[in-house]
Amino acid sequence: MSYGPRRAPNLAVRAMDLSTVPLPNATWKIHSGRELVYRFQLSPSAASRVYECELRVKPGKEQPEMIILSPNLRELSGEKRLPHTYQYSGKGIKLCLWRPKYGEWNPSMKLSETYIPWTAEWLLYFEHWLATGKWEGGGEHPTTKSTKQTRTQ
């Protein structure tokens, strides 16, 4: 499940790891040695829609970014506030997949065994949330100062 004690692999090793995931039409590119971008399609169950996903990894950055590019999750939710997502200024929705304060992920862990299956699990809980209005995926997500003020007023 990892590359050794807290040793982060380089981007080429990360790309080779992701190449082992049996996802059709998945592609990866390393941009000038500064960022690995892995694009893939994922359907969390046989009855689910297909999601276009993008994983972004930068060397030295503690947390990779998992972005859902399509379909538009906000539109699917009827513009409701999405659970367990981060603010993101780019295209798509950035997922919150693990709890940093508990160290559930570290850079020595394989993305093929963490971020990819965690994304499938998140999407399955998302679809359940769309149908029921209740998030069953557990976890906790920190709120911003302005969100806390809004909730207490």
Query: Total domain count for the chain?
Result: 1
Asked if the structure places residue 33 within a domain, the reply is yes
pLDDT tens column, 2-34: 555 567 899 999 999 999 999 989 999 999 989
Domain carrying residue 131: 11-152
Asked if the structure places residue 4 within a domain, the reply is no
Q: How far apart are CA 100 and CA 153, in angstroms?
A: 28
pLDDT tens column, 45-79: 999 999 999 999 998 777 999 999 999 999 999 99
pLDDT tens column, 108-138: 999 999 999 999 999 999 999 999 999 999 8
Query: What CATH number does the domain containing 137 carry?
Result: 3.10.110
Asked if the structure places residue 6 within a domain, the reply is no
| Contact status, residue 32 vs residue 21, Cβ threshold 8 Å | no
Residue 103's pLDDT is what? 86
φ, ψ (nearest 5 deg) of residue 124: -65, -45
Q: How far apart are CA 96 and CA 140, in angstroms?
A: 9
0.75 surpassed by pTM? yes
71 preceded by cis ω (within 30°)?
yes
